[in-house]
Every structure is written in C-alpha cells, then in structure tokens.
Structure 1
C-alpha cells in the first residue's frame, strides 16, 4: 500500500509541472473530473486507515484521549474535522456493497455516502430489503447530479420511486428518524481565534433552541434610539449577560473544588493605577479598563510571584489541591499539562507527582494539572512526570513509545 501511495503521490506531484495554460478547455475539464475522482478515492482509502487505527486503539496507546485528538495533532486538523473523519470512518462497516463500490470508484463523496447510508437504512426498516436495494441504485445515480444537502432532501421521498405503496406511511417514519438524527447531531463548538476571541458554531435541538431564544430575546432587544449595535452584536451581548447571571447564582457545579468563577491575574499596583493588563486562566488578555470593571464585583486574592513568574505563595491547603493552591497550579500550568492536550483548567484535576499515600506533600512543587483522561492515563501508564529546571512540568514517555525517552512538554497553553 505504501509503495502504491508513494507512486501516486509522485504522479500527482508531476502534474504541477504540467503547463495547464497550454491545454484546451476540453482537456482542462477532463483533468478536473479526473482530479475529483482521485480525491474521492483517496478519501475512501483515508477513511479505511482511520477505521483500522481507531479500532486498534492506537491513539489511546500513545496517550491521546481519543482518535480525533490524535488525528488533530498528527494531521494538523481542526478538532471538528478530525471528529467528523472518525465518525465517517465508523460507517464503513455498515455500508451496503453498492454504496461502498460507488465510494471506492470515486463517483460519490464521503458526505453523500453518509446521506445514502442513512436513507437506505430508513427504507430497509420501512419497506424491506428489496426496496432498500432499489434505493441504493437510485440514490447513487442522484449523487452524480446533486450534492449531499439536496440528496438528503430528495431522499425524504425516495419511497415514491422504489415503494410507492408504503410511501405515505413511511413519511411519518422518516420524520421520526429526522428527529432522532437531530438529537444525535446536536453540538456546540467553541473555537479559539488567533486574537483570543471565540467562534461559536453548532446545532441546537428544538428544546435547546427554544430555551436559548427565551433567555436572550429579551436581552437582545434594541436599547432605544441611541443603541447603534447590530442585531448580531445585541445577541452577542445577550449571551454574555446570561453567563454573568448564571455565575452570580450558586446553582452551577464546582470545578476542581472551587465554585464556577472567572479568574483574572494582574499586578496590584497596576490595578490600582489602571495601567496593567489582566490575564485570564486560559491565557487570554484583558485591557486595564475591562479588569477594573470586573474587579468591581470580584474577590481579590494576593499571589506572590518569583522572578520567573512562578507562583510562590497563594496560601496553601495541606490535603487536597483546591482553593489557593489550585489557583497557583492554574497560574503555572494554564490547563492540562500533558503533551498535546488543549483542555482548559476547568476540566482538570490536581495530580500529586509523588502520590500522597507514598509520602508526597500537597505543594506546588509536587503537583501538576491534568484533565480527567490524562490523569487516569498517567496513573495507569508508564509515563514519568517531573518538574523541569524552570519549574514547569515535563513528561518522559515510555521506552516503547520513544526509545530515547526525550522529555515532552505541552505547548498549547504557552503564553507569549
């Protein structure tokens, strides 16, 4: 397989040296069609490889929390794209032969395959195997003309073509299946932008959408004739207001032994003089004006820092890594310290480098911040955790993973 892929890669690379400008229009269109077919076939091979790696547990064996996270680092994908890749790969085992042939032949893409598989499953449950076989042929032909979104829309009436005698009854079943998919596909993705802002994307089910509208609609109404905000800006401010209201209650669950809270670090002198910027526990920065505004309704806790910015004293509790000691740990590690993990502090636990039961003390020098997955992984695995010469955690991989056992660090939480 590797030899064949290397030959294909070399052949594709040679296409860059071809003078496309010299080709006539007919040849350019034919080349575009061939490129697209090749792209679809490569996508099928890629899914096959992902399915095998996922099934063998390669990702978790190498310390990743999931195959999607491992693919994100290995292939430098967005975590959403990596997750969709794993989900699509999992459908390969359930594809009917006709659909699999269309995918490997390059006549349909992976998104169309997902639509076809789901539609055929509904037809099979409603009208039986014979109608499902007919539906495969019809849908594959439609896929040559229509994209995945239109193919899904056409598929809602597929029984009119393959089993008209049960089409009306099946329409209700299709609606129930649609509701089931809506529940399965619900999600919200929070993507950090290079400048520290967040992009929110997602799909809410009907109930969650109604709750969101009920919460933000009253807060996003125009504030009067002098309100120059756009509708999108008003909705943004309404979401922020809802979060502020939620944080003022005692109904939110605790994180790491502390109440849900917004933690900002700044110098005391700079705060009083309205000059210094503030730093959130996730590493993002706030202007002095924003820090002063938030400080009006906040508890201010002093922390003594060393010359390298290491937290030296925020008051320590002896048994559990909570309270002031946890805040010091967050200041230092910024999130899960395991290499390659981007989980924020609120998802993390304090881990004793030398276990408490083995005589390890509860101190900053004997603690590291780990998410739940990597906390369990470190406890049951062969990784060695230690603090480097600069006081920051580093992880020595097992020899089977890295024979040289070079220490690794997490670079996701590094601040500029």
Structure 2
C-alpha cells in the first residue's frame, strides 16, 4: 500500500507541473472529473486507515487522549475537522458494501456517503434488509445527479421507491415523531446583555417558523441601491417592524396593546433646555437621537424631577399621530415617502418633520410617513424633509451625495 500510494503521489505531483493553459476546454473538464474521482478514492483510503488506527487504539498508546486529538496534531487539523474525520470513518465502516464500493470508485462523495448510510439505516429499521439493499442502489444512482443536501431531502421519500407498501404509514409516523420533537424542543430565549441589548435565540416549530418567515420575508429586501445593511441587519429591522405593527393594531393584550412607551427621566432644567438620554421602563437607556425618533410615533411619559429627586410631574400620553390624522397622512403619502421606497402604510411610522421634542406640533403639515429603516435614516443621517408647495413631502439629500441638493420625491406611491 505504501509503495502504491507513493507512486500515486508522484503521479499527482507531476500533474502540478503541467501547463493547464495549453489544454483545450474539453480536456480541462475531463481532467477535473478525473481529479474529483481520485479525490474520493483517496478519501476512502484515508478513512479506512483512520478507522483501523482508531480500532487499534494507536492514539491512546502514543499518549493522546483520543484519536481526534491525535489526528489534530499529526495532520495539523482543527479539532472539529479531526473529530469529523473519526466520525466519517466510523460511518463508512458501518455503511453497506455497495456504499463503500461507490466511494472507492469515486462515484459518491464523503458527505453523500453519510447521507446514504443514515438513510439506509432508517429504511432497514422500518422495512427490513431487502428494502435497505434496494435503497443503496437507488441512492447511489441519485448521488450521481444530486449533492448531499438534495440527496438527504430525496431520501425522505426513498420508501416510496423501495417499499411502497409501508411508505405512507412510515411517512405519517415520521411526521408525527418530528412534530412531537419540535413541540418538545420549541423555545425562545431572551438574554439581557450588559449594554442593554437583547440576545435572541431559540428553536421554532414548523408552523411558527412558517409564520415568522411569512411576516418578515417581505421586509428583508434591500430598501434601495443605497441600503448598505447586511442580511442579518435587515432581518433584525424586519422583526422590529413586525413588532411595531403588532403593537399598532391594538389587538394585543392590555400589557402590550399600545405603541412602545418610554419613560424619560430628567431634571426640570434639562427638560427646558433639551431632551436628555431616555430611560426605558425595562431599565435600558437610549440616546437623545433614539428618543427623538421614537417620540414621533410612540407614547412618552415625561417624569420631571426636582433638585432633590422628587417627582414634580408625570405627564399624560400625548402628541400621537393617530385616528383621522393618521388616515389623512396615509391618504396623502400612500406609504413610506422616502424617495424610491415601496413600503406600505401599515409598515410606517408617523414622523414629526419638526421634532416634537423641539416644539413641533402634531399636524398633517408637520408629519410624514416613513418606514422603520428610513425613519432611522432621517434621524441619524444628513437628509432633511419638508413639504413642497403642493403639500407633499420632499427630501433634501446631503451635499456629499448631491452638491446641488435638489429635492427628491417618492414616485412609487400613486398620488391623487
């Protein structure tokens, strides 16, 4: 074996010296196919060696705590890759002979071997050895056409090909088992971070996952060519938009049926001068800019403190753009008014053109509809908004974007 591998290594090394630029396209494609088959065959040899060394206890005999740790040092692998190598070696060892032959012949990849072995094991437990033997042939044939991920999905329907008499019952049993596992494992964890942020983790069952995707997928597309948010940031913002919509419907229980409520605690002198940082009733803190943005379409309860900290006044909720005023705003703007945005009204906040914190009144002439993304953009960016001579919103871009700062409008929504 060592001599044969040494000769193969020399032959492969010689290939590296060949000038690929001189070969025609068909020869390059053929060489790629051969190299791929060779790679799978070498992988089969490697896994066979790993399995034999693992079975002999070579790693522990040489002082390593496990075969994976020994492989990590011997082959300079990451520990995860080393563990995966040991697992794949065991999978190949337990796989049917036909699967091992397919890998040795370069017909399947290592990942496909894992999928085939696991699928065949499931078929044998449900339909017996004869059906499992048939499954090997079908899956190896499919592996010539499909990658490991698609092969796994097709494998869920393998019983319909090799044991149709039990396929329906097995599929229903598998679906019920999966549903039971999903119901048992479903959870959402909200972890408070030291800086006031929230880490969201969890596992959704199939139905909840479909509901979440249906709700946020339409909102995760880039808002335009200038949208530099990552996909993860867009999903974050979409989830926040869904929560805003839910709060705005008024159909949630009393605990959460109103728009977000902030409690801004400050001194009387600071209140007269300018808004200070905001303190949420959950204990988190917001910058003055965030307070100004949320003040447009959320309920703020100003708690005014005297010099000794006693409460002088707790104001009532006010300056919300709701009811007939919001309906008039929707009729005028038709959706997010920022140029090029197609977000519908139900996903939009009502933004005070002159901030409410700066004395801006709550009126149609001082309001504009903005989606969550562009609402944040207006508060944190260099754009300004005003009403044009015809009473419709127009946006002034920053000088770095347009030196002439020509007003821009949203032409997406139909105007009356």
Q: TM-score, normalization: structure 1?
A: 0.45
Larger radius of gyration: 2
Q: TM-score, normalization: structure 2?
A: 0.45
